[in-house]
Amino acid sequence: MDGKNVCLTLVTSTILLMVVLIVFNSCSKNDESPTDWQEDMNGKILFTQNYFTPGIQSERLYSIDEQGLKSITSHGNYETITGAGWSGGGKQIIYVSQGTQLKIIKSDGTGERLILEHGKGINDVVWPHDWIAFAGSTHIYLSDSLGLIHDSLSLEGSNCQTLDWHATTNRIVFSVSPINSRILIWNLDTHTTRNLSESLKFPSHPAWSPDGSQISFQQEDSNGLSQVFICNSDGTNIKQLTYFSKENPSENFYVMQSSWSPHDDLIAIGTTRGVYVVNLQGELKTHIPLPHGGDMCATVDWF
């Protein structure tokens, strides 16, 4: 083989190696790979991915938008996340770490800081404007972004699971259990609470529509399978939105938290199979599988 052919062979081999490396790197970056985000969807969705292995529970925060999927947190096998949400401006994220801590992190995953530690436990958190609301084991608390608590609501022996704050009407909707499981609305202007509806059966995970006229929530259907329902904010016009079924009889399928799109026309739903997006007729818009084969998406928030 003459020198010209040797050079040509070396150049060709180098190019092939570069192509292989590029393909490998693009495939290995699972967090940045193409997703099932639809062009006519807007905003960005924050969600948790939960892993359950013997003796270890681990969660990670992800966001997804038209740019793709991004990992927000990565703390190995030691951090549990029981609630998370966007800040009112969408540039920061607040989340519950280890069941007792509130942390704030920038949307790009930098600048994480601890703002509050509550030894009695924290189940969920929302941050729609200047103040933060978080669900404790016996109270709902209102704090500022420095972690100073300014107000609270006693739950009289019940445990608040999840909550959502409609900033415009200044109302917090929340679910309590295990005693007389129900959904309540706390009006912060009048400091009064009311039951959403007496006809609901063990409802949980309520979420406001952006205009405050409707609420989505999780409840079991007549077959005992968890589904998403919606109703008016006064508890009327209750209707089942989703009709999920088990893929096999032994499957443990659960619907967790839901969150409305900024334009009121779509709802994102966290489940044991990932995030589903449906319209208000219950028709599937898209399915976002859990990255890396996680076990559950327990928290979802659409900004």
pLDDT at 101: 95
| C-alpha to C-alpha distance for 4 and 244, rounded to whole angstroms | 65
pLDDT at 295: 80
Neighbours of 22 (CB within 10 A): 10
CB neighbours of 255 closer than 8 A, spacing ≥ 6? 205, 218, 226, 227, 228, 242, 244, 269, 270, 271
**Residues 214-265 pLDDT 10s:** 999 999 998 889 999 999 999 999 999 999 987 777 677 899 999 999 998 9
**Residues 259-296 pLDDT 10s:** 999 998 999 999 998 999 999 999 999 999 988 777 88
Looking at the chain, the number of H-run helices and the number of E-run strands are 1, 24
CB 186 within 8 A of CB 193: yes
Among 44, 59, 16, residue whose Cα is nearest residue 108: 44
Least confident of 74-83, 191-200, 271-280: 74-83
| C-alpha to C-alpha distance for 279 and 226, rounded to whole angstroms | 18
Rounded alpha-carbon distances, angstroms, from residue 223 to 243, 284, 295: 11, 21, 23
- Is residue 28 scored above 70 in pLDDT? no
Q: Which two tokens stand for residue 175?
A: 């679910």
Provide the β-strand partners of residue 116: 102
